[in-house]
Amino acid sequence: MSLHNAPVPTQEEPSHSPNTAWRRGLVAIFAATFFELTGLFLFNPLLLFTLKGAGWSDAAVGLVAASSWLGLALATPFTAGWVARLGLRGALIASGIVPFFALLLMALTPWPLGWAALSMAAGAAGALRWIVAEATVAELAPDHRRGRIVGLFETMVGVTFIAGPALLAWLGTDGTAANTARWLAVGLSGTGLLLSLAVPHLSSHHPTDGTAPRLGLRGIADAMRAQPVLMVAGAVGGFFEAGTSGVLPLYGLSVGFAAAAAALLVSASGLGSALAMVPIGELSDRWSHRKVFLACASLNLLATLALPLVPLWSPAAALIAFVWGGAGGALYTLAMIDIGHRQQGVQLVTTTAVLVLSYTVGGMCAPVLGGLALTWAPGWGLPLLMSTTAAAGLLTLHHHLRRAASLH
């Protein structure tokens, strides 16, 4: 039974109507997440510029930048445990408290080594926010609108990647402007925390009769075995949506693009991701979920097969990047919609964590393997890597989806 249509309120659930509860919950989660992420994406590049201006080496600055991702990776397997202890609302509030105080302390203290530890703490809280917010949005959304609402949420998250850096570019990174930007980031994070308090009390649906799913690493392993489709969709989606941001500029340079044109390929990918999520969500609500999955994976493969055209017609590179961003992001979004249809509460959180881990692994593999392909086999290495990955993803998804359909 979904959280939004539960007929009997529990201790954590609101006493008002379920319709009012899910609407209020969705608005609060959307708004809180928007302000929190915008603040983080404003503060993080400013932190790197500050360290660079202080004479830190690129390697040292990179380690500080990686600290938030390390915190995210370490915390992801344990998010379901925090939800079981704190409840959905409590976990969302905790995910707002930690980054707010982390940014506040970084703004107040001139201690660069401490900034790395605070950044790691903010990253760990970011894992909690990412997973719990996505899981809660998927569960609160009515069945017939889940695709549309999850698509809107993914689009909103994508906007924060643009809004934070754009605010920093507008304010500036030197002197008084940098200080203003720093405190604006703290204020945005604080606003996100306050809006998190508006999230209604929601049940985490965690049984106490011994039938509860296992938590932590064991729960992650259980979900991986039970949901291979989500692992494949997450990994392929991360590879082509997030991971290619580290490959496209290098590929553009390798085929003769100027540096500015090569960098714009990343923008083309981001634009595809931003524009595709809502239409894909709508299509998922109206059409066979399995067919939409396979259509996106097929489109992704077709785009990779067009890579050899780029040296002959340079605009093809932007079109391919656009499709990769849209199709890759769609695979992640469709997997999130599928989780919302099938699960709820702590189990939904655990399965979302598996999806996030798979997406992260895919995003990490793409720049590493892409760089090796460009180095070892210029000209044909990258097209072979991308087409092989896309084809393997399509065939694996088709196999697991067909198997799942036969079991039902």
Answer yes or no: do 363 and 299 share one domain: yes
The pLDDT score that the predictor gives to residue 202 is 64
Domain count of the fold of the chain: 2
The pLDDT score that the predictor gives to residue 211 is 53
The three-state DSSP-derived secondary structure of 60-84 is HHHHHHHHHHHHHHHHHHHHHHHHH
Answer yes or no: do 227 and 133 share one domain: no
Residue 204: inside a domain, yes or no?
Answer: no
Answer yes or no: do 296 and 386 share one domain: yes
The pLDDT score that the predictor gives to residue 17 is 42
Give the integer Cα–Cα distance in Å for 144 and 407: 24
The pLDDT score that the predictor gives to residue 140 is 81
The domain that holds 224 is classified in CATH as 1.20.1250.20
* Domain encompassing residue 331: 216-407
Answer yes or no: do 163 and 245 share one domain: no
Model confidence pLDDT, tens digit, residues 132-159: 888 888 878 888 888 889 889 988 887 8
- Residue 207 DSSP code: -
Residue 156: inside a domain, yes or no?
Answer: yes
Which of 135, 163, 196 is where one domain is finished?
A: 196
3-class SS of residue 266: helix
The pLDDT score that the predictor gives to residue 3 is 35
Residue 1: inside a domain, yes or no?
Answer: no
Residue numbers in the chain where pLDDT is lower than 50: 1-17, 206, 208-209
Answer yes or no: do 227 and 139 share one domain: no
Give the integer Cα–Cα distance in Å for 123 and 79: 13
Residue type, 47: L
The pLDDT score that the predictor gives to residue 277 is 92
Residue 201: inside a domain, yes or no?
Answer: no
Answer yes or no: do 107 and 223 share one domain: no
Which of 196, 224, 244 is where one domain is finished?
A: 196
Answer yes or no: do 179 and 90 share one domain: yes
Answer yes or no: do 35 and 150 share one domain: yes
Q: Looking up tokens 């959304």, which residue turns up?
A: 141
The pLDDT score that the predictor gives to residue 408 is 59
Answer yes or no: do 134 and 264 share one domain: no
Residues sharing a CB contact under 8 Å with residue 159, sequence separation 6 or more, in sequence order = 34, 274
3-class SS of residue 56: coil
Phi, psi of 215 (to 5 degrees): -110, 175
Give the integer Cα–Cα distance in Å for 156 and 160: 7
The pLDDT score that the predictor gives to residue 52 is 77
Residue 109: inside a domain, yes or no?
Answer: yes
The pLDDT score that the predictor gives to residue 89 is 84
Answer yes or no: do 309 and 166 share one domain: no
Give the integer Cα–Cα distance in Å for 240 and 321: 9
Give the integer Cα–Cα distance in Å for 342 and 146: 12
Which of 196, 228, 255 is where one domain is finished?
A: 196
Residue 7: inside a domain, yes or no?
Answer: no
Handedness of CA 80, 85, 86, 88 (dihedral sign): positive
pTM beyond 0.85, yes or no = no
The pLDDT score that the predictor gives to residue 7 is 36
Model confidence pLDDT, tens digit, residues 84-140: 888 878 888 998 999 999 999 988 987 777 888 888 888 888 888 888 888 888 878
Answer yes or no: do 46 and 192 share one domain: yes
Answer yes or no: do 260 and 136 share one domain: no
- Residue 307 DSSP code: G
Question: CA-based angle 140:227:27, to the nearest 5?
Answer: 15
The pLDDT score that the predictor gives to residue 191 is 96
Residue 206: inside a domain, yes or no?
Answer: no
Beta strands per DSSP E along 140-276: none
